[in-house]
Structure 1
Amino acid sequence: MGLHSDTITIRGGRPLTGRIELKGAKNLVTKAMVASLLGETPSILKDVPDISDVRVVRGLLEVHGVKISDGEEEGELHLDPSAVETAHMADIDAHAGSSRIPILFCGPLLHRLGEAFIPDLGGCRIGDRPIDFHLDVLRTFGAVVEKLPSGIRMSAPGGLKGAKIELPYPSVGATEQVLLTAVRAAGITELRGSAIEPEIMDLINILQKMGAVISVDTDRVIRIEGVPELKGYDHRALFDRNEAASWAAAALATEGDIFVGGARQSEMLTFLNVYRKVGGGFDIHEDGIRFFHPGKPLNPVIIETDVHPGFMTDWQQPLVVALTKAEGVSIVHETVYENRFGFVDALVEMGATIQIHRECLGGQACRFGQRNFNHSAVISGPSKLHGADIVVPDLRGGFSHLIAALSAEGTSRVSNVGIISRGYEKFLSKLETLGADFTLEG
C-alpha cells in the first residue's frame, strides 16, 4: 500500500497482531550509500529500505554521476562511482530538500574531485544540530570552507591530511564525518570521544571491506590509517533497531502481539531490559523477536536516554505512549536532544497525563540542565486515550502519534504522515498486515 495521501483516519482500540519484516537501518544505509563514493569500483548494498531518506541520497549520488541500479533481490542496490563529477548547487538543493545528509558527502567528494558544495541544511525539528562542527572537522583535515549566499563551497588544494580530533559529545553525525573523511586522508587520524553505536560499527565494517585500516579502542577512541585508494564493497546492512523498538512499543500500547522479523537481541539489549521492566513480553528467535503485551498491568519506569550503549533517544518517544498505560508514575529524562518532547502535546490532548519539566529528573544532571530546555517528562497512568486530530511533528514523534491513535478509543485523523515514510518502510502496508483499522484520505 502506497502513501497517496498525507492524512489517514484511524479507528483505534484494536490490538496489532501478526508479523512484519525489517530491512536495513535508516541511520546506516544512507551513510553506506555515501561511502560508495570513496571506492574505485562498484559497491553492492543489500536490505536497503524503500524510504524517502534513501531516495534523497540516491538522487544526490546520481546528480554527482554515480550510476545506481537495482539488484536481483528486493532492496539490493548497485552503486558505480566511476564517473563521479561535480554537481550544480541547484541540483543538490533540489534533491536534498530538508535532509542534512549532504554534509557527509563533503569528505568523499573532496577526495574524489578536490571540491564539494552543500546547500543550507534542514532536518527534523527536535533540537539543535549545527553543521558548524562538521565544517570545523573538515577544516582540521585541511579543507578550505567558503560560505556563499547559496550554500557552502569547500576545496582541498593540498589534499586532506590526518588529524587529531576530540569530540565534546559523542555525536553520531560527527563520528561519521570523521570516518568518511579520514579513510583516504594522508597519515593517521585519531578521534577521541567518538560515538560507538551499532550503525557506526557497521559503517566501519563497510569501510574495512573497502580497504580502510580502522581500530576501535574501548575508551571511545577510533584510529584511522589513511590509504590512497579504496575499492567497492558488498554488504548486507544492519537491521533497523529504531523501527524494531517502535513496533515493540506498538504491541505494548495496543495490547497486541507482533513478531519483528530481522530484529536481533545483541543490538537491542538495553531496550529489551527496559521493555521487560515495563512488563512487556518478548521471545528471542533466530529470525527475529516476538513482542507482546503480557495481559496484566504495565509497570512505571524511570528512563534516561543516552548515547550507545545507553537507552536510545529514538526509543523513548514510542515507548512514552505505552507508558501512558502503566499503573503509576514514569519519568523520562532526555539527554541527547533538547527539544524532543514536542510530540506529547498531542498525547495530552488525547487524554494522557504528562508533565514536561526543565529540570533533570530521574537521573544525573545533564548538559541541558539549567538551560531552560524542557527535557524531562513525568507520565502518570494508566490513562485512557481517546481519538483526536493530530499533526505529525517529526519522524519518531509521528510514529508515536500513530501508536497513540491505534491504541485510543474512537477515531483519530492524523495528518502530515508523509514524514513517517522518511524512516519507516511501507508502514501503512505493515499496519494493514497487523490488522489496524484505517483509511487514507483522497
Structure 2
Amino acid sequence: MNYIVSIIGRPNVGKSTLFNRLVGRRKAIVHMTSGVTRDRIYGNSEWNGVKFSVIDTGGFSVSNHNALEKEIQNQIFMAIRESDVILFLVDMKIGILDEDREIAQILRKCQKTILLIVNKVDNVKSIHSNTDFFRLGFEKYHYISAINGSGTGELLDELIEIFEHKLLKKKEEKYEFLPRFSIIGRPNVGKSTLINSFLNKNHHIVTNISGTTRDSLDVFYKKWEYECILVDTPGVRKKSKIKDNIEFYSVMRTLKTIKYADVCFLMVDANRGWEKQDINIFRLVEKNNKGIIILVNKWDLFDKRNFCTQKDYEFIIRKKISPFDNVPIIFISAKNQDGIHNILPIAYQVLKSRKNRLKTNILNKIMLPILKKNPPTTNKKNKYITIKYCTQLPSCTPKFIFFSNYPQYIKESYKRFIENKIRFHFDFIGSPIQIFFRKK
C-alpha cells in the first residue's frame, strides 16, 4: 500500500526544504524568493522499511487571485485530494499570519489526517517562548528544522504509525462486511478442533483440558465461494462452575461475540447429550436474534449401544427447543473432518433466511385465513378478538407485526402458534422470529 503525504503552507515556509529532506535528495528547487515551486513535485521516501510518496506544492496564497496563483491553488487542492496525510507547514520565526489561519480553516474541511509542522526551530528555548501555533487548533504537531533535520525523525516515526493505523482500519473495513460465524458451546466440546479442521492446520491450541481457549479469536476463512470470519470462543459454563476471574471474563467475551455474530454454531458433545446448559446458550442466541446451527460433535465416538439414531437424537433436541425448532442440526466429527463440509453451505442458507423479506400481500393471503379459522381466545367476556392485518417490519432480522382489535388480550401461546405457521409456510430456517401485536 503506497501512502501519499503532501506538504502544504504559505510561500517561503520551507516546504521544498522539507520535501528534499524527506526524499533524501535535492529534487525541489530551494530559494529565498517565494513562488519558485508552482507545480506538484512527487518524490519517494522510506522509513523503517515503509515506503511512501511525498508531494511538494506551491505556496498557498489565499489573497492573490491572478491566473497563475489560481492554477497553483488548483494544483494544491489536487494534492490534498490525493493525500492520506497533510503536513501543514508554518514558520516559527515569523509566527502566525492571517494566511496561516485561512489555510488552517480550509484544511480542516478536507477531512484528512493533518499534522501541524512548525519549521525553522533553531533551539528549544524558542519552542517554549512561542505558543501561538496552538491557536490554529490542530491536535498533532511537530517542531522541526527542515534545513538541518532536527525533529524530522520523530515526524517520520509518527507518519509510519499513522500508515499502520490506516492499514489496520482498511483491513477491518474489508472484514466488516464479511459474515461472522461464532462457534459456541460448553467447554471441551471441540470448538478449536473445528477451527483447525476448517483451516487444515493447528491454528488454535487443542487439549483435553477444558478452558484452554481463554479469549474470542477471529480467523479469516476463504475457500471456494465461501469467505467469512470464524470466531472461536471459550466454553460457557454454568455461573456456579466459574472458578476464577479469567474464566468469568472469558465467558463475558463469548456473550459479546454472540452479540456481534451473524450465525452461531452451537456445538454439543454427542455422548453428553443435550443438557440444560445447551438450552440456556440456545435461548441466549435466540434472545439476541442471531441465526443458529446445532453441531452434534464427536458422533464417531457416540455409544451406539444407546440404540439412538441420528433421527431420534434430532427429535429430542427439536422437542426441547420448540417453537424455534426449524434449526439445522448437523452430526459431525470435527477431529476426523466428517460432515464439516456441510456446515458453511447451510450457514449461508441461514444467513439468507435472516434477510428474507415477505411481500405484505402474500403474507396476508397465507396468514389471515389461518388466523380467521383459529382465532385467539380470551378470558374476558364479550371480547371477540380478530386480527385484521399483518406485515413484516423493515428490520435486519425477521420481525412481524399483527394488528388486532384487542392486542392486549392475546396470549403467549397464540404467539407461538403464529410463529409455527410462519415457519411452516415460509423459509426462516435457523432464524429467530419476533412477533408483535398492535391496536388496529
TM-score, normalised via structure 1 length: 0.25
- By percentage of residues, which structure has more helix? 2
The answer to which structure, 1 or 2, has the higher relative contact order (CA under 8 A, 6+ apart) is: 1
